[in-house]
Amino acid sequence: MEIQHSPLKDCFVLKPRIFKDHRGTFYETFNQNLFKEVSGKEIDFVQDNQSTSTRGVLRGLHFQTGEMAQSKLVRVIRGKVLDVVVDIRKGSKTFGQHFSIILDDKEQLQLFVPKGFAHGFITLSEKSIFSYKCDNFYNKASEGGILYNDATLALDWHLPKEDFIISEKDLELPSFLDITG
C-alpha cells in the first residue's frame, strides 16, 4: 500500500497494491502501522458505514463537530464517485480549500478525511456502493453540513445540475461562510 499526501493538510490518498490472478484479486485496505508511519496519526476505527446510490445522487457536504468529530477512511466498493472534501479547521493552513478525487472499483483508491473536514460525494456510475470507516460514533446532535452549491467554494461536481438527486435535508444546509463565520 502506498500512502500519498493530498494538497490539503492531514488528508491522504491510499493506493493499494492489488494482486490479481485467475481467482480474482486481493489487496490490503488499511494498515495502521504504515498509516501512522506516514501520517503521524494513530487511528482507531470504531464504526463502519455503507451506502448505495444511483447516478447523480449527491450526499454532502457533511461533518461532525466537537467531541463527536470523525475522521473517515472512504472507498468505493462498486461503481464510481467524485469524492470531495473541504478543510473547515479554522487556523489550518489549508482552511477553506477543497480537494476532489475519483474513487472507483477499478483503482480502489481510498481517501482519509481527517476531523474538521466537510465531506461529500456524487455517484458518477449507474450505481455505487460507498464504504466509510469512522474513528468516532455518529451523533445526530453533532452533525453539520455545507450546501453542495456554495458560491464561496464553487465546487465542480462533474455532472449537470439537472442530474443531481439530493435529499431535502442536504438542500437546506447552510453556506460555508455561515458555518465558518
Q: Which of 98, 119, 132, 148 is catalytic?
A: 132
Q: Which of 62, 98, 119, 148 is catalytic?
A: 62
Handedness of CA 37, 20, 51, 81 (dihedral sign): positive
Buried b (16+ CB within 10 A) or exposed e, 134-154: bbbeeeeebebbbbbbbeebe
DSSP letters for 123-144:
E-SSEEEEEEEESS---GGGEE
Q: Is 148 known to be catalytic?
A: no
Q: Is 62 known to be catalytic?
A: yes
**Alpha carbon of 86 to those of 20, 21, 57, 115, 131: distances in Å?**
35, 38, 19, 11, 19
Cα–Cα distance for residue pair 169/156, rounded to 1 Å: 21
Helix (H, G, I), strand (E, B) or coil at 163: helix
Spell out the alpha helix ranges (H) of 20-161.
32-39
**Quick one: cell of 81?**
464517485
Q: Which residues are catalytic?
A: 62, 132
